[in-house]
Amino acid sequence: MPLTKLEHYLVMTDDIDATRDFYRDVIGLEVGFRAALGFPGHWLYLGDIPVIHIAEWLTYTEHSHKLGIPVTTRANGSTGVFDHIAFNGNNVQEMIDRLTRLNIRFHRNDVPHVGLVQLFVFDPNGLKIELNYRG
């Protein structure tokens, strides 16, 4: 059976609320329904899809081990083999204004031959987020 879409990615963190706040306040996702899963966390939505799940390291690890589910180990000072996640958006200037207002450092990369502006930011856990704006 072929894959049809990317469902979500899970961010493991020691501070679930700061991570939630970043994806809500900086990236612009919405906090929404989260099933009772046996450990604390948040789900953030893009439209009707919960694209980012957030879990607290210790309780998620303990819960998963009880179920016999393997858990990713922490990478020292990096995100391991995972470099970034990318989103498409519209109105690059609105995002630049938001990042500036919130004092969020970002790197801008213009790719003029394809009409693309990329903004790169880091979440509170050091995960790079790429924001792509076309046209």
Are residues 61 and 8 part of one domain? Answer: yes
Consecutive 10-residue runs of the chain (135 residues): their mean pLDDT? 80 95 97 95 96 94 92 74 86 96 97 94 92 92
Please say whether the beta carbons of 102 and 25 come within 8 A.
yes
Residues 111, 114, 116, 118: is their CA dihedral positive or negative?
negative
Same domain, 61 and 87: no
- With tokens 């706040």, the residue in question is 21
- Domain containing residue 91: CATH number: 3.10.180.10
3 sits in which H/E element: none
Q: Look at residues 25, 41, 73 and tell me which one is the last residue of a structural domain.
A: 73
Residue numbers of the domain that contains 127: 82-135
Q: What are the C-alpha distances in Å from 18 to residues 24, 25, 128, 131?
A: 10, 10, 16, 20
- Number of domains making up the chain: 2
Are 24 and 30 contacting, i.e. CB atoms less than 8 angstroms apart?
Answer: yes
pLDDT at 91: 94
pLDDT at 81: 64
Q: Any alpha helices (H) in the chain, and if so which ranges?
A: 16-21, 57-67, 92-101
Co-location of 12 and 36 in the same domain: yes
Q: Is residue 34 located within the same domain as residue 93?
A: no
Residues 16 and 59 in one domain: yes
**pLDDT on residue 75:** 75
pTM of the model: 0.88
Are residue 63 and residue 104 in the same domain, yes or no? no
State both tokens at 119. Answer: 């903004």
